[in-house]
Amino acid sequence: MKLHSHTLAAGHWKAPERDFSSILLDLNENQFLESFLEKFLSEALAPRDLYTYPNYRQLLDALSDYCQVPRQNLLLTNGADQAIDLVVRLVFEPGAQVVVPSPVFSFYYQMLDVNGVEAVIVPYERRGKLFHLPCDVVLEALSGRDGLILCNPNNPLGVQIEPDDLQRLIARCVELNKPVIVDECYYEYLRHSCLGIFSGLEQLFVIRSFSKYFGLAGLRVGYVVASTHAVSQLLKLRGPWDINHAAVKAAQHCLAN
């Protein structure tokens, strides 16, 4: 039996193992929402949320208001991890070369690897005590390459991409007609997004999560903001009910409060 060659050649991505007697700071789990989430569990969650299939309409409407984008530009995913998997599979073919300013969330390297996509690494530069994205170096690396992955603010460095640099990088990808993924899983701590300028562009894929600021890491809720056409194609790859009912209601509860 023949298996996918790129998967066979790739290594495993190992999630951190933990026991619940400890706090793993590197996972960035929000430890301060217990009373808020206890209220959700006691008041908003019902038995029918376990025996019925989920409906995403209300959450998508709430997300549309939150992100200030049309509902058809939103795709719910089983955590940001699934969003990364779906977008990488949609926009990059085996053999593609993708510019990745690094370090970045390591699951990106894993998904590129299993899909036979080469990561072209551009290291962040250190300036004093902080790190800085070398925008001109990234722009140069884009020539002849097939796309770009950005993380703003960066995970794990915690630094933001300067707004002017971010605009230059996305505009260049649009000019080259190459996909650009912007990871905004820590958007709520920065409150600066590329959506206001570039929302709806065919080349842009913004990935966000409910795992960090909203404290729902255990329920696995993420989403993609992309063009209407891109979302319709991503729906071919995602299952019809990949985000469970309890997760949907918890996300709605967070957005409503």
Phi, psi of 88 (to 5 degrees): -60, -45
pLDDT value at residue 213: 93
Specify the pTM. 0.94
pLDDT value at residue 111: 96
143, part of any domain: yes
pLDDT value at residue 25: 74
95, part of any domain: yes
Nearest alpha carbon to residue 209 among 107, 97, 57? 107
Q: What's CA 65's distance to the chain center, in Å?
A: 19
In whole angstroms, how far apart are CA 164 and each of 74, 158, 232? 25, 18, 31
227, part of any domain: yes
User: Any idea what the CATH number is for the domain that residue 101 is in?
Assistant: 3.40.640.10
Give residue 204's region: left, alpha or beta (phi > 0; psi -120 to 50): beta
Q: What does 11-78 look like in DSSP terms, one character per residue?
A: ----PPP--TTS--GGGT---S-HHHHHHHHHHT--THHHHS----HHHHHHHHHHHTS-GGGEEEES
161, part of any domain: yes
pLDDT per position in the chain (257 positions), as tens? 877 787 777 788 787 777 777 777 777 888 888 888 888 888 888 899 889 999 999 999 999 999 999 999 999 999 999 999 999 999 999 999 999 999 999 999 999 999 999 999 999 999 888 999 999 999 999 999 999 999 999 999 999 999 999 999 999 999 999 999 999 999 999 988 999 888 789 999 999 999 999 999 999 999 999 999 999 999 999 999 999 999 999 999 999 98
pLDDT value at residue 12: 85
194, part of any domain: yes
Q: β-strand 222-225 against 74-77: which pairing, if any?
A: antiparallel
Residue type, 231: V
pLDDT value at residue 11: 82
Range of 149's domain? 47-256
Instruction: Count up the domains in the chain and report the number.
Output: 1
151, part of any domain: yes
211, part of any domain: yes
Residue matched to tokens 């913004």: 206
Q: Helices H, strands E: what count in the chain?
A: 12, 9
pLDDT value at residue 14: 81
Q: How many residues does the chain have?
A: 257
13, part of any domain: no
